[in-house]
Amino acid sequence: MSETTKPYALITGASKGIGKAVAYELAKQGYPLLLVARSDAELKALSADLQVKYGINTAVLSIDLSIEGASQKVTDWIKTNNYPVGVLVNNAGYGVWGDFSQSALTDQLGMMQLNMNVVVELSHLLIPILSQEKQAYILNISSTAAYQAVPTLAVYSATKAFVLSFTRALRFELAQTSISVTCFSPGPVDTGFAARAGLNPFNKMAEKFNMQPDEVAKIAVKAMFSKKSEVIPGFTNVISVYANRILPKAFIEKTAAGIYKI
């Protein structure tokens, strides 16, 4: 497929972190981009940089996806502008760190809305649009936290387990269609996640396993276009997920609690 005929790739949470890195990776491959996030200024700066560096078409939509009805607004924006979308990257999400009983319920529910509901909503709303392409892709960003319960990140890890399970089932359902579905589950990545989650800044344990957004994005995009079902980047992360399958859950949860302790 030539660069001029490639469909758009829609990326949520595109203004920073993994989403921003995925935008650059797709831009390098000539994909025009639909960039969605809350920060209008950051989105416009990213859009301008991508256009200058790679000569691609970009469009931005500044919107808080955690607000009810936001996914429909994104879809209406796509339809109004007749954007042909061939790639959906469900990346937007955040974590809330701390003891569940001591965390604000509104924060937990907002996280659930963004991490789970928006993934379901956008997938459902955009499958008819994706189906119009000869080959289309859905890339759902989960986490290694999906494979275990994580004390002090209790709801976050549960939301990522949902994304993993949902993606597996959706991939099976769409197996005979033109849409390939991939779940990508990174471990710690050097982004603003920790600060957004409110992680203890004095606990450096998790930082030792950090990967860089650009290397993670490269693996994610390659996995998506290779039609992989489920990918965990990084040898240490693969080993940790494997350990979750064979070691006692109580031991795994105690270890996780030690890493993310308050």
The DSSP line for 197-221 is HT--TT--TGGGG-B-HHHHHHHHH
Arithmetic mean of pLDDT, 94-114: 94
Give just the sign of the alpha carbon dihedral 8, 11, 15, 18: negative
**24, 54, 156, 260: the active-site residue:** 156
Q: Tell whether the model's pLDDT for residue 83 goes beyond 70.
A: yes
Q: Tell whether the model's pLDDT for residue 239 goes beyond 50.
A: yes
pLDDT at 6: 95
Give the separation between CA 250 and CA 199, rounded to whole angstroms.
22
Give the separation between CA 136 and CA 129, rounded to whole angstroms.
10
Query: Which of 114-128, 138-152, 169-183, 246-260 is the least confident region?
Result: 246-260
* Among 169, 10, 180, CA closest to 85: 10
Q: Give this prediction's pTM.
A: 0.86
Give the separation between CA 185 and CA 179, rounded to whole angstroms.
20
pLDDT at 233: 85
Q: Tell me if residue 94 is catalytic.
A: no
What is the band of 243 on the pLDDT scale with cuts at 50, 70, 90?
Answer: low
What is the band of 199 on the pLDDT scale with cuts at 50, 70, 90?
Answer: low
Q: Tell me if residue 156 is catalytic.
A: yes
pLDDT at 149: 84
Arithmetic mean of pLDDT, 175-184: 98
Residue type for position 44: K
Q: Are 90 and 141 in contact (CB under 8 A)?
A: yes
- In angstroms, what is the C-alpha Rg of the chain? 18
pLDDT at 152: 87
Q: Are 86 and 78 in contact (CB under 8 A)?
A: no
Measured from the Cβ of residue 72, the count of other Cβ atoms closer than 10 Å reads: 12
Give the separation between CA 200 and CA 29, rounded to whole angstroms.
38
Pair of tokens at residue 82: 């007749």
pLDDT at 3: 45
Q: Tell whether the model's pLDDT for residue 122 goes beyond 90.
A: yes
Arithmetic mean of pLDDT, 200-212: 59
What is the band of 210 on the pLDDT scale with cuts at 50, 70, 90?
Answer: confident
* Ranges of H-type helices in 29-104: 40-54, 70-80
Arithmetic mean of pLDDT, 202-230: 83
**160, 208, 222, 228: the active-site residue:** 160
pLDDT per residue as tens digits for the range 50-77:
999 999 999 999 999 999 999 999 999 9
Q: Tell whether the model's pLDDT for residue 235 goes beyond 90.
A: no
Q: Tell whether the model's pLDDT for residue 180 goes beyond 80.
A: yes
